Chains A and B, each alone.
Chain A
Amino acid sequence: MTAASEPGRQAASAPGRPEPRHGLRIFLIWLVASAIADPLIWFLLGPHMPPGAMSGSAAHQQTTINVMALMSAPVLLFVLIYFGYALVVWRHREGDEGDGPPIHGNARISTIWIAATSVIVLALFGYGTVELIVPAGAGAGEGPTPIWKPSGGRPLQVQVIAQQWVFTYRYPQFGGVETPQLVLPEGQNVQFNVTSLDVIHSWWAYQLGVKADANPDVNNVAYTKPQQLGTFRVRCAELCGLWHGAMTNVGRVVTPAQFQSWATATETQLAAVTKNLPPYATTYDADAVAGLGKVLTQLGLNGAGGGFYPPEVPVQP
């Protein structure tokens, strides 16, 4: 059992000196620190904040991250400054074996804290929702039935086909040509239809700020609008097997005229293999192939499913 301490024994060492106003001190230190930190974040760090501004969705994400950094810096500073102050000012002095003041709680402080944190959190929620809706989904995959679409006519359709272990791209507006290269026109809305032929992958175009999971038999739609010329890096962001780490390629944003000429040239160049591809669809199922060659059927195959499910399993219940 501990020795009870005298009531009201304070941390001030010399009797007669007024108790310093700790709350005010902490508040002032915090105010100064935040006033320094926030402008640094916004002006120095902000323009360089990932993922950059190469596309509309990336730019909105950059703004969102900046705003959240702006709001979380004061919170972080407040807690750290408070703890730092407490650990310095209210540390145990040698020889003082007494207890601290018996403060069980303070309804006013608790209410203010709860109210303040709720306001901050709800404000962030509101802001985040706005930043999600305004840039047509902020580059995130919206599933097969997107609800936040870009305005201004039909976007360029690019289908992203994820397979183990490479991404290929199909342009339905150019004869359904499939190519491992990704070229996009600047200044035009692009609709990515992301799907997978096997396991779950995730298509992440870093500088474009687009990430959409590729699920088999699912069309995951994401929108963006490239607004700068240049190259961007595509990586797979969902573990998909042995070569997940190598599943990467470089995409290019070019002028609309260059894009047109590239697309039509590719369409011509790859016409021979495009004839062999299935017609463009939002999802593909290679486990059951209609019109498989006779020898293949005689060998007991009904598709490219790897024989995991026996061939007599119904194709689609």
Chain B
Amino acid sequence: MSLPVRVATLLVAFAAVVAVAIFIVIHYLLGGPPVADYTSMAQAGQVNVTMQTDAQTTVTDKPDWVTYFIKNPQTGHWDHTTLFKVPANTRVNVTILGFDGCTPLRNQFWGQVQGTIGGVEYVNGKPVSTLNSWAQCAVQHTFSIPGLGLSVPIASPTSLQANNNLCPTSPCTSGPHTVVTFSFRTPSRPGVFIWQCRIPCGLGYEYGFGGPMQTFGYMTGNMEVAA
């Protein structure tokens, strides 16, 4: 091949490689679900965050995965995300609508409410401090922030009939569910805190901890504390 042909082939090949690399970086490495920003919603040192847990994720290509949804404070819609942002040194009042059914914990220790203000959670208005997920159908997920020592078991509907008729779409608006509320205080220094669920609800994965349990936007995410 002559020199101009070689040079041209080289430049085309180089451009192709660079394009593929940039595509991989942008699409697969840097992508992620949106962040629900609650920092501007704080009033009198408190902010209210609303989430729900669902048994199905019919809005994505993984319909059988369990998931959290977080309510976007600006639009009022349920965003399919697990990333949210709250201001520092604020009392966060969390309301979780739990539309999923019960699963036993792998470690019963996480059936105890830890790290909330008052040491309890309110299930449909009544205070609860420990749930037994082995003896009863009691817990559907947990909301745990290990960096703050916070771990809250989300109570589930307890009857067999409710558990067999869970809401089959997402986000849910009707169906058997519990309303769980609790509060905790964010630290004064900004930072990013991971949060996760401790119930083995990644069904079809070994030990129940695969799939949605390790995927952002489903059962684990980040809470960003902004200054």
Please determine if A and B sit in direct contact within the complex, based on CB atoms under 8 angstroms apart: yes
Chain A residues at the B interface, C-beta cutoff of 8 Å: 161, 163-166, 168, 178, 180, 197-199, 241-243, 246, 270, 272-273, 276-278, 286-287, 289, 291-293, 295-296, 298-299, 301, 303-308
Cβ–Cβ < 8 Å partners of B210 in chain A: 306
- Total B residues in contact with A, Cβ cutoff 8 Å: 43
Report the separation of the CA atoms of residues A299 and B209 in the bound assembly, to the nearest whole angstrom: 19
Of chain B, the residue at the smallest CB distance from A290 is: B134
Q: Are A295 and B132 in contact (CB under 8 A)?
A: no
Asked if B206 is an interface residue, CB under 8 A from chain A, the answer is yes
Does residue B98 face the partner (Cβ distance < 8 Å to A)?
no
Task: Tell me whether A306 and B160 are in contact (CB under 8 A).
Answer: no
Q: Which residues of A contact B159 (CB under 8 A)?
A: 295
Contact partners of B130 in chain A: CB under 8 A: 272-273, 276
If A293-B137, A295-B137, A299-B101 touch, does A242 touch B214 (CB 8 Å cutoff)?
Answer: yes
Q: Which residues of B contact A292 (CB under 8 A)?
A: 104, 134
* Residues of chain B whose beta carbon lies under 8 Å from any beta carbon of chain A: 101-109, 111-112, 129-130, 132, 134-137, 146-147, 149, 158-160, 163-164, 194, 196, 199-210, 213-214, 220
* Contact (Cβ within 8 A) A273 B108: yes
CB pair B209 A198 closer than 8 Å: yes
Which residues from A are CB-within-8-Å of B203? 306-307
Within the complex, the shortest CB–CB distance from A180 to chain B, in Å, comes to 7
In the complex, what distance in Å separates the CA atom of A199 from the CA atom of B210?
11
Nearest 6 CB-CB pairings of A with B: A306-B208, A295-B137, A273-B112, A242-B214, A286-B106, A198-B207
Question: Which chain A residue shows the least CB distance to B111?
Answer: A276
Q: Is the CB of A304 within 8 A of B136?
A: no
Flag if B111 contacts A296 (CB, 8 Å).
no
B208 CB to closest chain A CB, in angstroms?
2
Smallest CB separation, B158 vs chain A (Å):
7
In the complex, the chain B residue whose C-beta lies closest to that of A178 is B109
